[in-house]
């Protein structure tokens, strides 16, 4: 047969292999732990929604929706029977961010009547058809958290402190929190007008995208990454100098609460964030050196969005934290993560056909007793199987050779010190259970002692 070309993954997508999954597991576990301890409930939402949801929330004029969204017309899919059905159902999009689904779910599931505030989080994939580069993928994973029903500045500060805590627990010290306020319905239009007046005079110095933004969303110019615009942006009116008194008070309270909680931050006047719906507090967390390129997390208030989406007016705030970039950060900065616990407590080693049959049967029995097991079927020497047991950090090995198969016995080997004992096959499971439980208890006590020192 002629050699066939393998099929590779799509550009901007990636495989997470076991050596990286250790990092993923750690980041996901810490994120989960911090959010749960902060009183958040976990939910799960679809990765695909009606396209209109994003047009009406994130905004058609944003890059995320206008340029990068994966949109499908399902009526045109091969074999589709949807051709004459509701058009609205047919045009769907893979989520470029999660807040719109959160807001939809909040309204659709009647959460408006639940006691407030409602604190929810989810972890899942997002899709953006961006130009892939370091830290920028077309498929990526976000931790998304939202608090509905409270406008007090203390909520803003405590949400930011949760993000901070996640990174602190991950020992990511070289990071910064940036905060700004972009005003409310009263002052935002005034700020927009000031910016339009300013940038109009300097239009020739702006990039093509910013020329368009000038008409549609002048605030976004402040967030432009193009080198060409930077000197003009540097001289632009500053949002926090022009927000109303109420917004100023709100921002000052957020900062005071953060001071109180010991979260360090930078007040960053041209932080505006790329999406349409934000008001008042906006924030971003970045690595110290690369603020413009690789934000690790970002969020803000969106007190008008729920009403815009057909719900009862309610204040809300949320953030998205990039799991991929967090993993990249840990790896790039050589940050140590805890050694993963051994997945395998007991490793089965066998020699000869009869021993193999016994080993397979025993493996299944041990698994049923919740003892995790490993076995290296393809390896034919005891030495190579012991090496495999070592590699997976097994606590004990069970060796069943030809002699043991005949005498209905097995050898238990302690992988820590190599001490071995022989037991009857019928006593094997009980003995192993005791030994593993004892070992786990020992390790926990050792850890407790080490912590108290
Ligand atoms: P955003 O909604 O753009 O503020 O994104 C929130 C977080 O998701 C960012 O701070 C990043 O950590 C992460 N993120 C956004 N876009 C991407 C992407 N294309 N690839 C990887 N991570 C991303």
267 and 131 in a common domain: yes
Residue 61 inside a domain? The answer is: yes
412 and 306 in a common domain: no
Residue closest by Cα to atom 14 of ligand 1: 322
- Please, what is the average pLDDT of the chain? 91
Residue 41 inside a domain? The answer is: yes
Residue 225 Cα to ligand 1 middle (Å): 15
354 and 278 in a common domain: no
Environment class of 66 (CB within 10 Å of its CB; exposed 0-12, middle 13-18, buried 19+): middle
Residue 229 inside a domain? The answer is: no
- The residue whose CB lies within 8 Å of the most ligand 1 atoms, and thus the one to mutate among 142, 273, 326, 329, is 142
Environment class of 301 (CB within 10 Å of its CB; exposed 0-12, middle 13-18, buried 19+): buried
Whether the pLDDT of residue 248 is over 90: the answer is: yes
Packing angle, helices 425-452 and 353-368, rounded to 10: 50
294 and 360 in a common domain: no
**Across 170-192, average pLDDT:** 93
* Contact yes or no for 145/237 (Cβ under 8 A): no
Nearest CA to 410 among 354, 370, 364?
354
Residue 34 inside a domain? The answer is: yes
pLDDT digits (tens, 9 = 90+) for 35-94: 999 999 999 999 999 999 999 888 877 788 888 999 998 887 767 765 556 667 789 999
Whether the pLDDT of residue 292 is over 60: the answer is: no
* ∠ Cα 5 9 10 (to 5°): 120
Query: Edge to edge, what strands does the sheet with 346-350 contain?
Result: 373-375, 346-350, 396-400, 409-414, 420-424
**Helix H or strand E encompassing 192:** helix 188-201
Residue 446 inside a domain? The answer is: yes
Residue 223 Cα to ligand 1 middle (Å): 15
* Contact yes or no for 367/317 (Cβ under 8 A): no
**Among residues 282, 298, 332, which one ends one of the domains?**
332
- Any atom of ligand 1 within 6 Å of the Cβ of 320: yes
389 and 293 in a common domain: no
What span, in angstroms and rounded, lies between the C-alpha atoms of 194 and 239? Answer: 10
Q: How many CB atoms lie within 10 A of CB 113?
A: 7
- Any atom of ligand 1 within 6 Å of the Cβ of 298: yes
Length of the chain: 453
Whether the pLDDT of residue 276 is over 80: the answer is: no
Q: Is the dihedral of CA 105, 276, 119, 48 positive or negative?
A: positive
390 and 248 in a common domain: no
What span, in angstroms and rounded, lies between the C-alpha atoms of 107 and 307? Answer: 10
Packing angle, helices 208-216 and 188-201, rounded to 10: 140
Query: HSE (CB half, 13 Å, CA atoms) of 301?
Result: 28
448 and 308 in a common domain: no
Residues of 302-335 as b/e, b for ≥16 C-beta within 10 angstroms? bbbbbeebebeebbbbbbbbbbbbbbbbbeeeee
Residue 25 Cα to ligand 1 middle (Å): 19
Two structure tokens written together for 105: 């779910």
State residue 291's pLDDT score.
Answer: 47
What span, in angstroms and rounded, lies between the C-alpha atoms of 233 and 378? Answer: 64
Percent of all residues in the chain with a pLDDT value above 70, rounded to a whole number: 96
What span, in angstroms and rounded, lies between the C-alpha atoms of 318 and 156? Answer: 9
State residue 239's pLDDT score.
Answer: 86
- Any atom of ligand 1 within 6 Å of the Cβ of 223: no
β-pairing, 139-148 vs 316-322, is: antiparallel
445 and 369 in a common domain: yes
- Any atom of ligand 1 within 6 Å of the Cβ of 137: yes
352 and 259 in a common domain: no
Tell me the chain's radius of gyration from C-alpha atoms. Answer: 28
Residue 196 inside a domain? The answer is: no
**Domain tally, the chain:** 2
State residue 418's pLDDT score.
Answer: 94
159 and 53 in a common domain: yes
Two structure tokens written together for 277: 């719906």
**For the chain, first and last CA: distance in Å?**
66
Residue 274 Cα to ligand 1 middle (Å): 11
- Any atom of ligand 1 within 6 Å of the Cβ of 95: no
Whether the pLDDT of residue 453 is over 90: the answer is: no
State residue 196's pLDDT score.
Answer: 92
- Any atom of ligand 1 within 6 Å of the Cβ of 139: no
- What pTM was computed for the model? 0.87
**Among residues 332, 367, 392, which one ends one of the domains?**
332
Residue closest by Cα to atom 17 of ligand 1: 136
25 and 127 in a common domain: yes
Whether the pLDDT of residue 394 is over 50: the answer is: yes
- Ligand 1 nearest-atom number relative to CA 142: 8
Nearest CA to 172 among 37, 299, 321?
321
Q: Phi and psi of 2, rounded to 5°?
A: -65, 150
pLDDT digits (tens, 9 = 90+) for 193-224: 999 999 999 989 999 889 888 888 888 898 88
Whether the pLDDT of residue 342 is over 70: the answer is: no
Q: How many CB atoms lie within 10 A of CB 256?
A: 13
Residue 209 inside a domain? The answer is: no
pLDDT digits (tens, 9 = 90+) for 374-390: 998 877 798 999 999 99
Helices (H), ranges, 243-339: 245-261, 305-308, 323-332
Residue 395 Cα to ligand 1 middle (Å): 40
Q: CATH number for the domain including 258?
A: 3.30.930.10
**Across 132-140, average pLDDT:** 93
Residue 226 inside a domain? The answer is: no
**Among residues 279, 310, 332, which one ends one of the domains?**
332
Residue 135 Cα to ligand 1 middle (Å): 9
Q: CATH number for the domain including 411?
A: 3.40.50.800
Query: What range defines the domain where residue 417 resides?
Result: 346-452
Residue 97 Cα to ligand 1 middle (Å): 8
Q: Is the dihedral of CA 112, 113, 114, 115 positive or negative?
A: positive
- Any atom of ligand 1 within 6 Å of the Cβ of 326: no
Residue closest by Cα to atom 6 of ligand 1: 320
Query: HSE (CB half, 13 Å, CA atoms) of 48?
Result: 10
Torsion of CA 295, 146, 258, 287, to 10 degrees: -10
- Any atom of ligand 1 within 6 Å of the Cβ of 140: yes
**Across 351-375, average pLDDT:** 93
What span, in angstroms and rounded, lies between the C-alpha atoms of 210 and 203? Answer: 9
439 and 406 in a common domain: yes
Cα 250–chain centre separation: 29
pLDDT digits (tens, 9 = 90+) for 297-329: 999 999 999 999 999 999 999 999 999 999 999
Residue 335 Cα to ligand 1 middle (Å): 21
């Amino acid at each position: 047969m002629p050699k066939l070309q393998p099929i590779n993954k799509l550009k901007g997508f990636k495989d997470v292999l076991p050596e990286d999954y250790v990092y993923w597991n750690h980041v996901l576990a810490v994120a989960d732990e911090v959010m749960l301890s902060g009183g958040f409930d976990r939910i799960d939402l679809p990765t695909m929604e009606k396209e209109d949801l994003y047009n009406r929330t994130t905004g058609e004029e944003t890059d995320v929706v206008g340029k990068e969204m994966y949109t499908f017309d399902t009526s045109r899919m091969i074999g589709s029977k949807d051709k004459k059905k509701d058009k609205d159902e047919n045009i769907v999009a893979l989520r470029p961010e999660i807040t719109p689904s959160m807001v939809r779910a909040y309204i659709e599931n009647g959460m408006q009547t639940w006691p407030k505030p409602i604190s929810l989080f989810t972890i899942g994939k997002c899709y953006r058809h961006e130009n892939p580069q370091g830290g920028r993928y077309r498929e990526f994973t976000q931790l998304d958290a939202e608090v509905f029903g409270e406008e007090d500045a203390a909520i803003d500060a405590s949400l930011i402190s949760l993000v901070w805590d996640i990174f602190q627990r991950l020992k990511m010290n070289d990071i910064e929190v940036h905060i700004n306020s972009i005003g409310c319905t009263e002052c935002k239009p005034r700020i927009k007008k000031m910016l339009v007046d300013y940038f109009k005079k300097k239009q020739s110095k702006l990039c093509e995208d910013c020329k368009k933004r000038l008409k549609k969303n002048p605030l976004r110019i402040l967030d432009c990454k193009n080198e060409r615009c930077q000197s003009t942006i540097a001289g632009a009116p500053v949002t926090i100098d022009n927000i109303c008194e109420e917004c100023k008070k709100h921002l000052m309270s957020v900062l005071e609460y953060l001071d109180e909680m010991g979260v360090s931050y930078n007040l960053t006047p041209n932080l505006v964030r790329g999406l349409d719906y934000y008001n008042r507090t906006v924030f971003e967390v970045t690595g110290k050196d690369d603020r413009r390129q690789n934000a690790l997390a970002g969020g803000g208030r969106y007190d008008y969005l729920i009403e815009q989406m057909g719900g009862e007016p309610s204040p809300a705030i949320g953030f998205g934290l990039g799991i991929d970039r967090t993993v990249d950060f840990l790896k790039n900065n050589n940050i140590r993560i805890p050694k993963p616990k051994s997945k395998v407590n007991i490793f089965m080693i066998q020699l000869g056909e009869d021993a193999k049959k016994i080993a397979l049967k025993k493996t299944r029995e041990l698994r049923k007793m919740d003892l995790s097991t490993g076995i290296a079927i393809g390896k034919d020497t005891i030495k190579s199987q012991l090496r495999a047991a070592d590699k997976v950090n097994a606590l004990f090995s069970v060796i069943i050779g030809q002699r043991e198969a005949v005498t209905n016995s097995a050898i238990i080997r302690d992988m820590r010190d190599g001490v071995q004992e022989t037991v009857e096959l019928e006593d094997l499971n009980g003995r192993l259970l005791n030994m593993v439980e004892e070992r786990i208890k020992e390790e926990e006590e050792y850890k407790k002692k080490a912590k108290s020192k």
